[in-house]
């Protein structure tokens, strides 16, 4: 290919990049902490409304919410959609009954495949500015007599980025 052809090709490709790359460069990772912060707020609000005493903290940059109501103690953490931290969560909740909240429902095991595909789909919708809500997975470790099925999990089923 001669140099003038290469030059004209470069101009056409650059024009295409100028039109398309700015939208691709919106950094999803930059808004991920916002989803976690909003999820933590939603969890705290839900449990406080249900009469729990709340203690919120964080471990290695991820939030941990401890909640106590009578003899029931709950510990809630955000689990990654791909289930990277499930083994660590399991180890930390040895004596507790562990369940996972996803889309307002409780699961006995981490819904990895659904959550992974759903996260990709939610990112897709977020990039297209169709919808800015995400459905995080939350681990719920319960000790004592807790009726966790009765809690309004639907209130944390969808978390918005705004």
Quick check: 7 binds other proteins (CB under 8 A)?
A: no
Quick check: 108 binds other proteins (CB under 8 A)?
A: no
Beta carbon of residue 61, minimum distance to other proteins (angstroms, whole number)? 12
Q: Are 83 and 110 in contact (CB under 8 A)?
A: yes
Contact range with other proteins by CB under 8 A, out of 8-16, 64-72, 98-106, 139-147: 8-16
Residue of the chain from 7, 13, 37, 45 that contacts other proteins (CB under 8 A): 13
Return the closest-CA partner of residue 138 out of 41, 55, 11, 14.
41
Residue of the chain from 4, 5, 57, 149 that contacts other proteins (CB under 8 A): 5
Beta carbon of residue 120, minimum distance to other proteins (angstroms, whole number)? 8
Quick check: 27 binds other proteins (CB under 8 A)?
A: yes
Q: Are 97 and 131 in contact (CB under 8 A)?
A: no
CA atoms within 13 A on the CB side of 7: 3
Quick check: 23 binds other proteins (CB under 8 A)?
A: yes
Q: Are 24 and 16 in contact (CB under 8 A)?
A: no
Residue of the chain from 25, 57, 61, 150 that contacts other proteins (CB under 8 A): 25
Q: Are 83 and 112 in contact (CB under 8 A)?
A: yes
CB closer to other proteins out of 6 and 48: 6
Strands (E), 2-160: 53-59, 62-69, 72-79, 97-102, 105-107, 133-134, 137-143, 159-160
d(CA 135, CA 115): 8
Quick check: 125 binds other proteins (CB under 8 A)?
A: no
Which residues make up the interface to other proteins (CB under 8 A)?
A: 1-2, 5-6, 9-10, 12-13, 16-17, 19-21, 23-27, 29, 82-88, 90-91, 112-113, 116, 123-124, 127-128
């Amino acid at each position: 290919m001669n140099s003038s052809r290469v030059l004209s090709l470069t101009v056409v490709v650059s024009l295409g990049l100028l039109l398309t790359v700015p939208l691709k460069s919106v950094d999803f990772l930059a808004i991920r902490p916002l989803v976690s912060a909003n999820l933590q707020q939603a969890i705290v609000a839900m449990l406080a409304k249900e009469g729990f005493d709340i203690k919120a903290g964080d471990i290695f940059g991820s939030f941990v919410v401890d909640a106590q109501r009578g003899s029931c103690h709950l510990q809630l953490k955000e689990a990654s959609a791909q289930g990277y931290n499930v083994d660590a969560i399991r180890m930390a909740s040895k004596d507790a009954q562990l369940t996972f909240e996803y889309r307002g429902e409780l699961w006995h095991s981490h819904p990895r495949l659904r959550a992974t595909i759903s996260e990709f789909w939610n990112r897709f919708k977020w990039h297209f500015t169709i919808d800015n809500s995400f459905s995080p997975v939350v681990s719920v470790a319960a000790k004592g007599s807790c009726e966790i099925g009765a809690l309004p999990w639907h209130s944390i089923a969808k978390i918005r980025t705004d």
